[in-house]
Amino acid sequence: MTKAITPHELDAVPEVTRLATGERGGVSGARSEADYSPDPKELRDDQVDGPELTARLAKTWGTQKGLIGALSTVDHKVIGRRYIITALFFLFLGGLSAVAMRLQLARPESSLIGPDLYNQLFTMHGTTMMFLFGVPIGEAFAVYLVPLMVGTRNIAFPRLNAFSYYVYLFGGLMIWLAFMLNIGPDVGWFAYVPLSGPEFSPGKRADIWAQMITFTEVAGISVAISVIVTVFKLRAPGMTLDRIPLFVWAELINSFVIIFAMPAVVTASALLLMDRLVGTHIFNPAEGGDALLYQHLFWFFGHPEVYIIFLPATGWVSAIVVTFARRQAFGYIALVLSLIATGFLSFGLWVHHMFTTGLPQLGASFFTASSMLIAIPNGIQIFCWIATLWDGRPVFRTPLLFVIGFFFIFVAGGLSGIMLASVPLDAQVHDTFFVVAHFHYVLIGGNVFPLIGAIYYWFPKFTGRMMNERLGKWHFGLAFIGFNVAFFPMHITGLMGMPRRVYTYLPEMGWGNLNMISTIGAAVFFGSFLLFLYNIVTSARRGPLAGPNPWNAGTLEWASASPPMPQNFDRIPIVTNREPLWAHRDSLPVAAGLSVENREQIVSTVTAGRADLRESTPEPSIWPFLSAVAITILFVGSMFTPWALVWGTPPLALALIGWFWPKAGTEDER
Amino acid sequence: MKRAFSILLLSLPLAGCQGWQSALDAQGPSAQALAEMFWIFVAVLGIVWVLTMTALLLALRRRRPADADPLSTDPGTERRMTITVSVAVALTLVTVIALTGLSYAAQKVLFSHKDGALTLLVTGQQWWWKITYENEQPNLVFTTANEIHIPVGKPVLIKLESADVIHSFWVPNLTGKMDAIPGRQNQLQIQADRPGIYRAQCAEFCGLQHAHMGMLVVAEPKEDFERWRNHQVSSAIPPNDPERQRGMEVFLSKPCIMCHQVRGTDAGGKVAPDLTHVGSRRYIGAGTLETTRGNIAAWIIDPHGIKPGVNMPTIQLEPDEVQPLASYLEGLK
Amino acid sequence: MRTLLILPLLAFTLAACEREDREYRSNPVTAESQEKIALVPLSAGPGGPTEQRSGLGKEYEENAFHISQGQRFYVWFNCNGCHANGGGDSGPALMDDRWIYGGQIENIVQTIREGRPNGMPSFRGKIPDDQIWQIAAYIRSMGRNVPKPAAPGRKDDMSPGPAEQRRPPGEVIDGGQVPPSAQMPQ
């Protein structure tokens, strides 16, 4: 598939890449950093070739065996795989809690689940789906795929990345363990004060929720930073801004949205914790605080959150549409610009979650306009995808089916969102099952359907085996029918006056039949996921071998082996086109000259993607794991006593000192 | 599948129009305007959805030859698609602007307050509604719970407050909802065009019994309303049959009086619903049970079986005290 | 070794379960709880007075929900009319370590139920038994004689002092004894 670049081919690629091949001289304007004298003792990848090169690189970049090795790994693929599996595990738990709620709501005045447990269930469902599944799944795919797609060997800041996974895992385990111990939060995933405040939420339940936010924030922002730097600085030579794959663009914008949105909710949850634990009066109106302040802080994060969940999905859709339409994306620039516009606009709509709180009407109508405006960038994306399919030659495999399902469901959800953007209409349907229907159409349509498509699509890359196509089509059919049967009737129950978050309802309200239909649909939908699980497990063991590029796709991740070797690529590819594998069907130009014995990567310039310098990336280390343990102790302890901030800091400081202890030797930068 | 879907779609307008707590069964000018606007939105957005999906289905036809280079594009096709997409985006923009304008116009009408014929202070509590009819004459001010009476055809101003956590006041048949937030007072106007009984329910999650925090709004002709109001202002009439007299004794000697008020007796608690005319209300337990003697007895004996977590305690009653107590309360018309 | 690790974890787990339970439905048939407790630690002979406790007290004073309900009823039933927010007014202070009729939760329940001379009315038949226990549990939390994770945080109104859970852990002197800190200078 790959072959070393020959001198005459070099003319076609940016000149600095020649330096990376180890050839010196004759190039004006070369960067001095890259100008080095080859160390005769160090083996470079232009000195060996073939299986020997692969084996040596695999040894250099590999993960060590044993528990310590597994916990020390900094390989983005290992971390990414764990991230994906963990997020899917939480999706499963969230789904289970949803099924329990649907069973309770199937009949009026059902006594299956009492109000106390029901409140915990819907809180866990929302919290899990938003914080433990929705945000991490997009980041998980970024961790696994972005370095592959931009043609580098590891993510930037790989230890930070490993650290973020452990923090996320511990946070998620903490809240679910708490739920099993009957300390599950019962105040809703939004935890409005004063209900979540000290007076009306006794015990530790709301603290668990607020502290879980802190965990996911630390994890989320860490990954976002790694992804941004990877995209900006570690792209393969020649990958100019307009050759970045759309998926990578989506993850890049997503990471920026995460970095700007998450601090708001950390502020909200930290202030809530202070009110609850230290006795501050930030949200207490009697002492000059304000309960609405909390809602502003929360939704300033909460609305971008929706786009944090949706943006990675646009990346999945773009990748799948392009591959299965067998045509390059129509309107690449428009798609990228609308992604950026969505990212910006998502910060200007938060008040539409607060239309019924009695805000000034002029302010509210401004947010009507801005909320409706976001239909434009989303519309552009939808139309561009349809245009790509129009001019393409669609191949109807399972990933594309799920993307078609995405169009049907997401567009419907987006349109009902336009109703919610209108202040007067929102006054009727706000906090009813209509809203529940709307955002499940948007989030399941906009995230879960593309996600399943993405799993079917990248599964061969992750495992080296294909998933079962027949089961996949059954899965799609069941999921599509089950979803619509479950959620479409909720529009009607909402309009008939059924509020959200009720654990039961009176028989005379006449909502019984529709709720029964919803429950049946939910059962079918859940069943489709069991089929999916079965498909994953059996395919991972016995599926047909996939080969590097089973779908004949165009982006760089398909140039690596399936599953990718620890080094991703034996030699770093040189990018001359947005779809490198379509442009160079038989051989991919590559750059050579990186060390085989050190973890060296090419650092490139931000816009032009010219190879700039070689830099070694961190070796595996146990310290990120230990730091995550230390920070978990600090966070959990501070739910019980503010003194945890004092005695929790030294262990964390020790772990961080160990992490950043300067080491001589192989990691020395040249 | 498709058929099932279309049946569902057809059943939407039919199902949505019924119900005593339905947003689409409009009984007041405001809800009427909202329902009309809702259907306009549904029609416009439905057309958008159908057009987009048609385009998608048409796009799924295979137009390229099997061996075409995925990177090749035909300039003609490219230009036509650019124009089509631009037109589609422009149309989306026009639609969105039109709908924003429509929304804004409705908003202006909806929130322009006329002078109310009547002003009510509604206080949300965990998990019931306290209602105070305000009046310039202090002797006409009275407090009741969980049932509002309003004269037909007159705008009524509702001031919303909360005693504990955030609640939301929502009578779907009459108008949209408004939150009751601690430390603030929000205002809302309702008006019923036809006599009837409309149900309201708390729409903001407020704890264990959020599901059972209902209220009735009874719209009646002005004379009936006046009669009702004059009766509500008065104190409870002492019972004259022996069973109810016994019930009153039980009531006054039990923990009931710590929380409940019955004007005209020693019971003066203010933290639970006022029971002075509880027998005249249609429901007890904040819209949970119909007011019958049996239901009152059931509620007193085991409130947590009906509304788990409610602040009404289980009290110690002798078996022969339940019946008189229930009939006393039922008799508080 | 492993059991050593598991046992505290299990204990913690069970403690958490009980602390967070929301036991709102009291048994409708049981009569009021019977506790045999001494007002003073004096008795004939050595060994102290014989006491009999039902164990209900622990259930109430270690449960966050019960304490928080007690906090609510404390205001609803106008305890603050005489005892203010625990600092005392026409009634004695409740947040200090001075207890005229005993400071164990059983003593407090008895005091509320029976009433005491010089102004404390009897609430027998006025407040249901489980609510008396809840109020008593809350009163115990005023002097921080309850586990910290169960003690209430600040209330949503004007606060005269730190919230119960922020107060230093208290030590209750048994009934009748006046601790040195509260004695009049002789």
pLDDT at C24: 80
- The band of A147, judged by pLDDT with boundaries at 50, 70 and 90, is very high
Closest alpha carbon to A309 in A350, A355, A261, A263: A261
In this predicted model, what pLDDT tens digit does every residue of A323-339 receive, in sequence order?
Answer: 999 999 999 999 999 99
Expressed as residue numbers, the domain containing C77 is 54-154+163-186
Q: Are C18 and C59 in contact (CB under 8 A)?
A: yes
Give the nearest partner residue to A200 out of B33, B207, B210, using CB atoms: B207
Q: At what angle do helices A76-105 and A135-149 cross, to 10 degrees?
A: 150
SS (H, E, C) A530-544: HHHHHHHHHHHHHCC
- The band of C42, judged by pLDDT with boundaries at 50, 70 and 90, is low
Tokens of A155: 């993510």
pLDDT at B161: 94
Strands A600-604 and A611-616: antiparallel
The full length of chain B comes to 333
**Any domain includes C16:** no
Tell me the CA end-to-end span of chain C in Å, nearest whole number. 57
CA dist., res. A531 & res. A540, Å (int): 14
- The alpha carbon of A350 is separated from its chain's Cα centroid by a whole number of angstroms, namely 21
Q: Element (H or E) spanning B133, and its range?
A: strand B128-134
pLDDT at A651: 94
Q: Chain C closest CA to A288's CA: distance in Å?
A: 10
Tokens 């007159």 appear where?
A: B154
Q: Are A141 and A80 in contact (CB under 8 A)?
A: yes
**Any domain includes C23:** no
- The alpha carbon of B146 is separated from its chain's Cα centroid by a whole number of angstroms, namely 11
Say if residue A563 is preceded by a cis peptide, omega within 30 of 0. Answer: yes
**Any domain includes C105:** yes
Query: Does residue A290 belong to the interface with chain C, where contact is any CB pair within 8 Å?
Result: no
> Average pLDDT, stretch C109-116?
91
Give the nearest partner residue to B211 out of A290, A364, A503, using CB atoms: A503
Q: Which of A113, A193, A204, A273 should be substituted to probe chain C, the one whose Cβ sees the most C Cβ atoms within 10 Å?
A: A204
CA dist., res. B331 & res. B244, Å (int): 8
Residue C170 pLDDT exceeds 90: no
Closest alpha carbon to C151 in C82, C83, C61, C91: C61
Put simply, the answer to whether B313 touches C26 (Cβ < 8 Å) is yes
Query: Does residue A181 belong to the interface with chain C, where contact is any CB pair within 8 Å?
Result: yes
Q: B168-172, B276-280, C5-9 — which is least confidently predicted?
A: C5-9
Strands A588-591 and A2-4: parallel
Question: Which stretches of B191-252 are assigned E, i.e. beta strand?
Answer: 196-201, 214-220
CA dist., res. A200 & res. A203, Å (int): 10
pLDDT at B72: 85
Kindly give, in sequence order, each residue whose CB lies less than 8 Å from that of residue A157, ignoring residues fewer than 6 positions away.
A222, A225, A226, A229
**Any domain includes C10:** no
The SS3 of residue C35 is coil
Residue C77 pLDDT exceeds 50: yes
Q: Which residues of C53-85 are buried (b: 16+ CB within 10 A; e: fewer)?
A: eeebbebbbbbbbbbbbbbbbbebbebeeebbb
Q: Are A113 and A97 in contact (CB under 8 A)?
A: no
Q: Please give the tally of structural domains in chain C.
A: 1
Q: Which B positions 122-181 lie with beta carbon below 8 A of chain C?
A: 164
pLDDT at A18: 38
Tokens 């080296």 appear where?
A: A464
**Any domain includes C87:** yes
What is the average pLDDT value for chain A, to the nearest integer? 89
Residue A650's Cβ-side half-sphere holds a number of Cα atoms within 13 Å equal to 3
Tell me the CA end-to-end span of chain B in Å, nearest whole number. 54
Closest alpha carbon to C84 in C75, C76, C96: C75
Q: Chain A closest CA to C136's CA: distance in Å?
A: 16
- CATH code at C99? 1.10.760.10
- The alpha carbon of B46 is separated from its chain's Cα centroid by a whole number of angstroms, namely 28
Residue B62 has a CB neighbour count (10 Å cut-off) of 13
Say if residue A194 is preceded by a cis peptide, omega within 30 of 0. Answer: yes
Query: Does residue B315 belong to the interface with chain C, where contact is any CB pair within 8 Å?
Result: yes
Closest alpha carbon to A131 in A248, A249, A206, A214: A214
In this predicted model, what pLDDT tens digit does every residue of A20-62 receive, in sequence order?
Answer: 333 333 333 333 344 444 555 677 877 888 888 898 899 889 8
Closest alpha carbon to A254 in A224, A216, A218, A229: A224
Rg (CA), chain C: 17
Measured torsion, CA atoms of residues A401, A403, A409, A410, in degrees rounded to the nearest 10: 180
Domains and CATH numbers, chain B: 19-45+91-232 (2.60.40.420), 242-330 (2.60.40.420)
The SS3 of residue A628 is helix
CA dist., res. A450 & res. A282, Å (int): 41
**Residues in C touching B308 (Cβ below 8 Å):** 24-25
Q: Which B positions 75-94 lie with beta carbon below 8 A of chain A?
A: 77-78, 81-82, 84-85, 88-89, 92-93
**Any domain includes C22:** no
Put simply, the answer to whether A418 touches B81 (Cβ < 8 Å) is no
CA dist list (Å): A52 to A62, A75, A130, A570, C41: 15, 21, 46, 10, 87
CA dist., res. A175 & res. A192, Å (int): 18
Higher pLDDT, A203 or C47: A203
Residue A16 pLDDT exceeds 60: no
CA dist., res. B3 & res. B5, Å (int): 5
Say if residue B127 is preceded by a cis peptide, omega within 30 of 0. Answer: yes
**Any domain includes C130:** yes
For A562, counting Cβ atoms within 10 Å of its Cβ (0-12 exposed, 13-18 middle, 19+ buried), the class is: buried
Q: Residue A130: phi, psi to the nearest 5? A: -80, -50
Tokens of B67: 């061996």
pLDDT at C89: 85
> Average pLDDT, stretch A606-615?
88
Closest alpha carbon to A81 in A97, A67, A63, A98: A63
- The band of A584, judged by pLDDT with boundaries at 50, 70 and 90, is confident
CA dist list (Å): A199 to A287, A562, B165, B183, C164: 14, 55, 10, 15, 11
pTM (global) more than 0.80: yes
Q: B96-105, B208-217, C158-167 — which is least confidently predicted?
A: C158-167
In this predicted model, what pLDDT tens digit does every residue of A487-508 receive, in sequence order?
Answer: 999 999 999 999 999 999 999 8
Residue of B nearest to A400 (CA): B60
CA dist., res. A298 & res. A213, Å (int): 11
**Any domain includes C41:** no
CA dist., res. B170 & res. A56, Å (int): 69
Query: Does residue B309 belong to the interface with chain C, where contact is any CB pair within 8 Å?
Result: yes
pLDDT at A145: 95
Tally DSSP H helices, then E strands, for chain C.
Answer: 6, 0
